[in-house]
Amino acid sequence: MSKKTTIYDIAKALNITAATVSRALNDNPRISSDTKKLVLETAKKLNYKQNRLALALKSGKSKNVGVVLPIINRNFFSNVIRGVEEELNPMGYNVIICQTHDDEKKEADVIQNLLNAQVDGIIMSIARHTKNTGHFEQVLKKNVPLIFFDRKVDIKGASSVTLDDYRGAYEATQHLIDQGCAKIAHFTVDRSLEIYKNRFEGYKQALLDSDIGFNEKYLLGLESKIEAGKEAAKKLMELADPPNALFSASDLAALGAIQYLKEIGLCIPEDFCVVGFSNEPFTQFMELPISSVDQSPMLMGRTAAKVFLEQIDSDTVKTKKRIVLAPSLKIRKSSSRSNPTL
């Protein structure tokens, strides 16, 4: 195994002190620009790698940020990661991505591991069944910035970047009403999570504001899966007075519903209108493009990263910052009975 290059090797090659090399590598203002340039060129030539842990211990900053997700294989979360990286990488930060698989214990373990790794901040979306907030409070006690996105809990000192889910759901439901639909069903996921609770409340309020009664039979809870959407749609259409429209809190469930409705011979949107939520890529590239509420995941990720940068460079880490992004309803053929926007 070849010996690792040290600052002493660089110092010997340039006939200067190791202290001067160290200062040059750390951009010390006492070192001239010519010397810094020469040291960096020599370090590159000798394949010198700085010890990031040693730097972290010395400076108090690891230049690492943890991003904690319930699950990574969803377009929404992968685009949030991209937004975070595009904002932080140019500032010299590395992103450590962790999954909780929607498990509270795993979430607590992941956060402890990130704290042990001396991360400078944590940007995260909570697990579905998280009730305990002790692991979040531990982050704040260590004066590490904690920024929630999408799914969050309200605790003192933590910031959040979320979507106005209530408004998105309200606008989606109002759009269906404007298409002449008066019997609108709703697929919800898990209303113990604030995002799904807000989507339900927005849907319900839009009905009430248009003097359309809320029908409990039109509300179905399900997993965010295609097959679950198909099964739920079947239940709806077996009702004595079935709905003629659907607002789904999940694009995957909306797709499943459309598949079932087409199987039983209904025409969309002529017989039945459908709107989803998340604006997954498949919604716009299908033979029947699906209307959906866009969550702006790239913007959400970039915004969360900006909040971190503001807090890491100030003494106001414990000052809560709440940013709510505006939703955008993408109207497509699945719900537009006139002049659909494809």
From-to residues of CATH 3.40.50.2300 in the chain: 62-164+296-326, 165-294
| pLDDT above 70 for 28 | yes
Superfamily (CATH) of domain 165-294: Response regulator (3.40.50.2300)
pLDDT tens for 232-256 read 999 999 999 999 999 999 999 999 9
In CATH, what number does 7-50 get? Answer: 1.10.260.40
| pLDDT above 50 for 153 | yes
From-to residues of CATH 1.10.260.40 in the chain: 7-50
Mean pLDDT of 106-126: 95
318 falls in which pLDDT band (50, 70, 90)? low
129 falls in which pLDDT band (50, 70, 90)? confident
Res 257: pLDDT? 98
The DSSP symbol for 222 reads: -
pLDDT tens for 71-113 read 988 899 999 999 999 999 998 899 999 999 999 999 999 999 9
> What is the overall mean pLDDT for the chain?
91
Give the CATH fold of the 62-164+296-326 domain. Answer: Rossmann fold (3.40.50)
Mean pLDDT of 21-49: 85
User: Cα–Cα distance between 79 and 82 in angstroms, integer?
Assistant: 5
How much of the chain is helix, strand and coil, in % rounded to 5? Answer: 45, 15, 40
Could you check whether the bond before residue 29 is cis, i.e. omega within 30 degrees of 0? Answer: no
